[in-house]
Amino acid sequence: MSGTEFLPGRAPVLSRRSWLAASAGCLTAVGFATHQTSAFADQGWEKTQQQVSGLVSAGQFEKALQLVSAQIKANPQFAPAYEQRAWVMLDWLDLRDEVALTDLPLRHRYVGDPATGLSNIDPPMEVRRQYLQERFFEKYAPPAELKAVEQDLAEYRQLTGNPADGLAIEAFLAEFIGDLKRAKELISARCANGRATPREYLIQCRILRNDRDLAGALAAADQALTSPEILNQASKQKHSLLRALNRTKPAADFFDAWQASSSRDVRFLLARSLSSPDQQAQIQDLERLVDMLPKEAGIAYSLSVRDIQVRKDLEACMTHLTRAIELNPRSLMPHYARCGLKMRQGDAQGALADINMAIKCSPYFDMSYQLRSRIQQKLNNTEAARKDDLRRLWLKDLYQLAANSSAKPNDAEIAYSLGRHYARGEDWNRALQSLSACLKQSPKHVQAMRQRTEIYMTLNKLDLALAEADKIIAVDPDFAHYSLRGDVHALRKDWDAATNDYENARCLDDRLEQSLRQRAAWHKAAGRLEEATADLERAGSIVKVSFETP
Say if residue 514 is in the same domain as residue 481.
Answer: no
Number of structural domains (the chain) is 3
Indicate whether 418 and 491 sit together in one domain: yes
Q: Are 517 and 480 found together in one domain?
A: no
Query: What pLDDT was estimated at residue 25?
Result: 34
Name the DSSP class of 108: S
pLDDT higher than 90, residue 247? yes
Q: In this structure, is residue 16 part of a structural domain? A: no
Task: Looking at the structure, tell me whether residues 522 and 479 fall in a common domain.
Answer: no
Q: Which of 21-35, 60-74, 395-409, 477-491 has the lowest mean pLDDT?
A: 21-35
What percentage of the chain exceeds 90 in pLDDT?
59
Is the same domain home to 486 and 537? no
Assess whether 184 and 218 both reside in one domain. yes
CA of 250: how far to CAs of 3, 194, 238, 247, in Å? 44, 25, 10, 6
Query: What is the average per-residue pLDDT within 361-382?
Result: 94
Quote the pTM value: 0.76
Residue 296 placed within a domain: no
**Identity (one letter) of the amino acid at 78?**
F
Cβ count near 345 (within 10 Å) = 12
Cα–Cα distance for residue pair 295/61, rounded to 1 Å: 12
Rounded to 5°, the CA angle 489-490-494 comes to: 60
- Does 487 share its domain with 520? no
Helix, strand, coil share of the chain (percent; to 5): 75, 0, 25
Per-residue model confidence as pLDDT tens digits over 315-360: 999 999 999 999 988 888 899 999 999 999 999 999 999 999 999 9
Say how many Å lie between the first and final Cα of the chain, rounded: 75
Query: Does residue 170 belong to any structural domain of this protein?
Result: yes
CATH of the domain at 170: 1.25.40
If one compares 3 and 251, the residue with the highest pLDDT of the two is 251
Instruction: Identify the sign of the CA torsion 153, 88, 100, 351.
Output: negative
Residues 45/53, Cβ–Cβ less than 8 Å: no
Q: What is the overall mean pLDDT for the chain? A: 84
- Flag whether 465 is in a domain: yes
Domain that holds residue 535: 508-550
Give me the mean pLDDT over the 81-104 stretch. 84
Instruction: Give the end of a domain, one of 258, 286, 311.
Output: 258
- Summarize the confidence of residues 213-240 as an average pLDDT: 93
362 domain-assigned: no
Residue 355 lies in a domain: no
Cα 34 from Cα 78, distance rounded (Å): 8
With beta carbons less than 8 A apart as the criterion, state whether 354 and 372 touch.
Answer: no
A 10 A CB-CB count for 355 gives: 27
Res 393 pLDDT > 60: yes
pLDDT classification of 139: cutoffs 50, 70, 90? confident
Q: Is 141 helix (H, G, I), strand (E, B) or coil?
A: coil
DSSP string computed for 43-67: TTHHHHHHHHHHHHHTT-HHHHHHH
- Of 258, 281, 298, the residue at which a domain comes to its end is 258
Tell me, yes or no, whether 474 and 516 share the same domain. no
Which of 258, 285, 305 terminates a domain? The answer is 258
In a domain, 182, yes or no: yes
CA 101 to chain centre: 14
Residues 6+ apart with CB under 8 A from 164: none
**Which CATH number fits the domain that encloses residue 476?**
1.25.40.10
Q: Are residues 473 and 414 in the same domain?
A: yes
pLDDT in tens, 259-276: 998 888 899 998 888 778
- Residue 173 in domain: yes
Q: How confident is the model at residue 130 (pLDDT cuts 50, 70, 90)?
A: confident
